[in-house]
């Protein structure tokens, strides 16, 4: 989708109908945003806003923040599940790297010596938040390793 925009140094006053077309039939994906209008302030409202749905990915929808910042964006209804990419043990410390979390969302590092226990019986070792990219980079759980065998899992509320 071409992302042309209208720039104004003062106020843009919306009115009439806005029809957005994916003229290039390009692939749309969750997380993409398009700034259609750039202004000092935004006023008024469109009587209708029609956004392209024929190339919208499954389980996604448009969000409209035109009155706030002149932008439309694609949002996924699928909640990402974090994936641990590595765990490195160093003495009694465990360093965890993960991806696919929600930016800024809280996560818990749980541990157990018995993988078959319900998660409610696992021990919470740490609480933190994913970075702005939804990753955990070199997060160290101090004294998180004890006993002959230990299992780890990330939990999100």
Whole-number pLDDT of residue 102 = 82
Parallel, antiparallel or unpaired: strands 60-65 and 33-35: unpaired
Average pLDDT for the chain: 86
Give this prediction's pTM.
Answer: 0.53
Tens of pLDDT along 13-72?
A: 999 999 998 877 777 888 888 899 999 999 999 999 999 888 788 889 999 999 999 999
Task: List the chain domain ranges.
Answer: 6-76, 83-155
Tens of pLDDT along 129-149?
A: 988 888 888 888 776 566 667
Neighbours of 96 (CB within 10 A): 23
Q: Rounded to an integer, what distance in angstroms lies between the CA atom of residue 43 and that of residue 10?
A: 11
């Amino acid at each position: 989708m071409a992302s042309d925009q209208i720039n104004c140094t003062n106020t843009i006053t919306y009115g009439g109908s806005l029809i957005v077309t994916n003229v290039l039939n390009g692939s749309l994906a969750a997380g993409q945003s398009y700034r259609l209008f750039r202004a000092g302030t935004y006023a008024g409202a469109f009587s209708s806003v029609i956004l392209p749905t024929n190339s919208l990915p499954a389980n996604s929808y448009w969000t409209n923040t035109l009155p706030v910042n002149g932008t439309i964006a694609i949002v996924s209804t699928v909640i990402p599940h974090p994936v641990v990419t590595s765990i490195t043990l160093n003495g009694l410390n465990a360093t965890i790297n993960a991806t696919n979390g929600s930016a800024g969302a809280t996560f818990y590092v749980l541990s157990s010596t018995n993988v078959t226990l319900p998660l409610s019986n696992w021990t919470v070792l740490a609480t933190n938040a994913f970075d702005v990219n939804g990753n955990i980079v070199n997060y160290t759980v101090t004294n998180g390793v004890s006993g002959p065998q230990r299992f780890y899992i990330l939990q999100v509320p």
